[in-house]
Amino acid sequence: MNYKITVLPGDGIGPDIVGEALQVLELIGERYGHSFQLTEADMGGVAIDKHGIPLPQATIDTCKSGDAVLLGAVGGPKWDTLPGHLRPEAGLLGIRAALGLYANLRPAVIYGALKEASPLKSEIISNGIDIMVIRELTGGIYFGKRGRLETEGGEAAYDTEMYSRAEITRIAKVGFETALKRGKRLMSVDKANVLESSRLWRQVVEEVAKDYPEVALSHMYVDNAAMQLVRNPAQFDVILTSNIFGDILSDEASMITGSIGMLPSASLGAGKLGLYEPIHGSAPDIAGQDKANPIATILSLAMMCRYSLDLPAEADAIESAIVRVLDKGYRTGDIASAGTTLVGTKEMGRIIRAEL
């Protein structure tokens, strides 16, 4: 088969990790007889430098005309003083919204070989961790009204959290459908003891639950959820939450698995088109040093094969190659521990391809 993939390398470590992932994709194409037609486009800081804006219309058009999008990461100190709507991060929010990608799947899985890399005590993670964080991605405070104003007390700024019944319903369905295919336990995380938007969230999730009697639904406040994730992460199967809570909790969940450099993500909407990216950022502190862990990006490629391209065998092949590489003791710095073999970004990519 022939697939059209849009590639947005972005900034910082983005081009390095995407470069390794693309070589994995090429190899998959050779092994399984697919042709992947790659089109690179600008988004983020690189687009600001070239076109003056973080998300050119041409990038949106290219993404829409393809089967899937692979993204590295965007942002960096160079663009941090620009007004909000011109920052690299605005490009990322813009592409998620333009493609209607309201559901963000972030799987936090602890690999057997990486238990040493987790900061949690071995008894807490001994039975493994396999959590799917489902983050609402095109609503909430990220997309609510924000601004500055003069008040009697001086300058003030505001950001608004708003969720409609329709937005909550569609993401809740993704949560229940996902739980059905897994451990059938759904934990909805909110702040319903304070926020009205969370009270509607909880109410609508309860309503959607009526269509999924097989799924055990519970609710948890986000502050407790942050604590429970480190106290007993194995209690979670699927976590369903808002845009901002999902952003924060998924970074926390990633570290439980050893490193933020391990967590991939899929951003999905109503159709097959999806955007795949590691959950981490452009890591300016290690950019250009061959230190970044490319595994989150390569695992994102596996998610792309599974969710947008209907290539489950190829996805399995990528994931199991990574398991074997970790079992053999190869580690980038972020997941290194005593007795393992330290490798750089490129070498890790090469070893994963050799294992494929």
Q: Point out which residues bind Mn ion (CB under 5 A).
A: 247
Dig out the tokens for 269 from the structure. 């909407």
Dig out the tokens for 200 from the structure. 């509607």
Q: Is 76 annotated as a binding residue?
A: yes
Q: Does 247 bind ligand IPM (CB under 6 A)?
A: yes
Note if 142 is an active site residue: yes
Please report, as residue ranges, which positions from 253 to 272 form the binding site for ligand NAD (by CB under 6 A): 260-261
Give the pairing type, strands 274-276 and 266-268.
Answer: antiparallel
Q: At what angle do helices 312-327 and 14-32 cross, to 10 degrees?
A: 120
Specify whether the CB–CB gap between 207 and 168 falls below 8 A. no
Tell me how long the chain is: 356
Q: Does 279 bind ligand IPM (CB under 6 A)?
A: yes
Q: How far is the CB of 197 from ligand NAD (least distance, A)?
A: 23
Q: Is 159 annotated as a binding residue?
A: no
- Rounded CA gap, 318 and 298, in Å? 8
Note if 247 is an active site residue: yes
The strand ranges marked E within the chain are 2-10, 35-40, 68-73, 103-109, 130-136, 146-151, 154-159, 185-190, 216-221, 238-241, 266-268, 274-276, 330-331, 341-342
Q: Is 313 annotated as a binding residue?
A: no
DSSP character for 210? T
Q: Is 106 annotated as a binding residue?
A: yes
Note if 251 is an active site residue: yes
Q: Does 89 bind ligand IPM (CB under 6 A)?
A: yes
Note if 121 is an active site residue: no
Closest to ligand IPM by CB, 282 or 345:
282
Q: DSSP readout, 79-126?
A: GTTS-GGGSHHHHHHHHHHHTT--EEEEEEE--GGGGGGSSS-HHHHT
Closest to Mn ion by CB, 247 or 319:
247
20 binds, among ligand IPM, ligand NAD, Mn ion, none (CB under 5 to 8 A by kind): none
**Interface pick for ligand NAD out of 16, 20, 42, 89 (rule CB under 6 A):** 89
Binding residues for substrate: 96, 106, 135, 223
Binding residues for NAD(+): 76-89, 281-293
Active site positions, annotated: 142, 191, 223, 247, 251
Contact residues toward ligand IPM (CB under 6 A) are 75, 89, 92-93, 247, 279, 281
